[in-house]
Structure 1
Amino acid sequence: ARLWFRRGTQAMAFVQRTSAPLWQAWALMEAKEGNDSEARRLFAVGLKQNPKNRYIWLAWGVWEQEQGNEERARYLLSYGFKVNPRDPALVQAWARLEAQAGNLTLARRLFKKGIRVDERHQPLWQAWGMVEWKEGNVEKARELFQQGVWANPRNKNAARVFQAWGVLEEEQGNIGVARQLFKCALKVDQSNVPAWQAWALLEERQGLLRKADDLRALCLQQRTEEVYLGVVDESVAAGIEALQNTFERFAKWFGPSDARARSRQQQAGGEAVASVLAAADDRRRGVPPPPSSAS
């Protein structure tokens, strides 16, 4: 694999900007093999070829976070967002980092900024909802999951939001509502394995082992032509009725729709890789960082 990566990057040396994906893939391979120094070198080369490449900023930053290098990850993600101010994925990753570091005020500010950048980016809504859920703000989490679904209800990412919302409702004891949300997830994307699995686990925990086995069979056999529709518990009928209007709105979205034209113009600027890493090192030594770009 290294030989082919080497040949590929050499062959594309004359079009440096388009070779960045190769450098990123090579870096990720080395990272997976535990060759951290080589991975960083390859990420840096990729950014040298194209300083605006949002995928490398994101992949490198997330990887550094996974390695426990919080400061370096913060600088990579924040600088990546600085040179790609219209990219919601970068600000989402930065916000999640801050939330995990306990900087909830900054994290919420970044989530809001990401929504302003692209309110249809459903992973942002889901990530923010998960943060609020973890903090015990269940109503706020519900609101964010609902906004995430409404942002783009026919996109497959909506299935992930439905699934997370369903798990929340199960945790709150709203079993019937959770079932309906899992069904909604599978109507959006019937190949969504986490939704099938979460629904099966719910039924298993309710003692409905046969139903759980049926759901797992449907998932494993990829029999996704129609969603398995079980009987809703009468004991939670009131809870479902309270959300009936919401589900009716969902149902309307699952039908034919007019195509919507969307365009997102990427704004970019260049930043030297060396300055980013130097800034992270300065932060580690206690040198005051530049003012945050979050507002």
Structure 2
Amino acid sequence: ETKLGDMPAARRAFSRGVALMPSNVHLAHAWAVEEQRAGNAGDARRLFEYALEQDAGDGLIYQAYALLEQQEGNMAAAERLLERGTEADPNNVYLWCACGVFETRRGNLEAACRMFEQATVLGPSHCPSFQAYAIALERSQRCDEAAGKFEQALRIDQRSVPTYQAYALMEARRGDHDKARGLFERGISVDPRHAPIFHAWATMEEQLGDYARARDLFNKGVEAAPSSVALLKSWASMELRLGHIDR
């Protein structure tokens, strides 16, 4: 029902399910997430609290609940929930990764790296943890270590386009534009319709003053992903800056 956009019907279905299976935390969790998506933060909170009353050891509930509080601007509440989650479910790689992302966004990079280290120890095959760890390391000016984590992420998942993109952007910031191009190319070979990687590469070339190459990449990106508003806007903005009003 939620996929069909009928939230009242979805709410009735969730309510019946919880009434029939009151200890089913997955139902309560899913309902909370849908209320969150619908903008009903108060209802989502009550459902997350109910789910934790049923199972206080489920790290994914703490993670989702903390995300709600982050979106609502309640950073202290989000921090408390993540701390409670890691205490209740200390072997949950996804939760430790979420903690690392939270600390990265707050600029607490040393703490973030400790949490990503824990995530990668617990989940040595979890590519997103290595990618996020690499980003935190780069922001800590530890670029060689970051490159190592990106390489580990790609050994785990050679088809992770976001990892190719993030790695390429780091190399571009380091001034190794040829290496960045190689990484962008590898990412596009994995998913030729991935608009963000075309956008990132085209933007790099524009910043380097290679407008012909940037234009070609914007064009290929729009052909591959014609619904990408971001690509179209950036391409149009470049042409306007160049005085090409009619392009």
- For 1:46 and 1:187, locate their aligned partners in 2 and report how far apart those are by CA, in whole Å: 43
Identity over aligned pairs, percent? 28
Matches within 5 A, 1:119-130: 119-130=124-135
Counterpart of 1:293 in structure 2 is none
How big is each residue's C-alpha offset from its partner over 1:28-80, in whole Å with a ceiling of 9 and x where there is no partner? 134xx3x4333312322344455455443222212212333233212222333
Counterpart of 2:28 in structure 1 is 20
* Residue from 107, 113, 122 that aligns with 1:108: 113
* Residue from 143, 148, 155 that aligns with 2:148: 143
Counterpart of 2:45 in structure 1 is 40
SS in 2 for 1:12: helix
Higher helix fraction: Structure 1 or Structure 2? 2
- For 2:170 and 2:83, locate their aligned partners in 1 and report how far apart those are by CA, in whole Å: 30
- For 2:27 and 2:54, locate their aligned partners in 1 and report how far apart those are by CA, in whole Å: 7
Change (3 A) 1:21 1:63: closer
Counterpart of 1:188 in structure 2 is 190
- For 1:64 and 1:81, locate their aligned partners in 2 and report how far apart those are by CA, in whole Å: 17
- For 1:102 and 1:164, locate their aligned partners in 2 and report how far apart those are by CA, in whole Å: 18
How big is each residue's C-alpha offset from its partner over 1:62-112, in whole Å with a ceiling of 9 and x where there is no partner? 221233323321222233334444432211111222344454443322211
Change (3 A) 1:54 1:193: farther
**Any gaps of 5 or more consecutive residues in structure 2?**
1-5, 226-247
* Residue from 177, 198, 201 that aligns with 1:199: 201
TM score, norm. by length of structure 2: 0.77
The higher relative CO (CA closer than 8 Å, separation ≥ 6) is in 1
Amino acid at match of 2:30: L
Task: Tell me if structure 1 keeps the 8 A contact 2:100–2:113.
Answer: yes
- For 1:152 and 1:198, locate their aligned partners in 2 and report how far apart those are by CA, in whole Å: 21
Amino acid at match of 2:95: L
Shift of 1:26: 2.7
SS in 1 for 2:224: coil
**Any gaps of 5 or more consecutive residues in structure 1?**
224-295
- For 1:189 and 1:21, locate their aligned partners in 2 and report how far apart those are by CA, in whole Å: 32
TM score, norm. by length of structure 1: 0.65
- For 1:27 and 1:53, locate their aligned partners in 2 and report how far apart those are by CA, in whole Å: 19
Shift of 1:12: 0.9
Length, aligned pairs only: 218
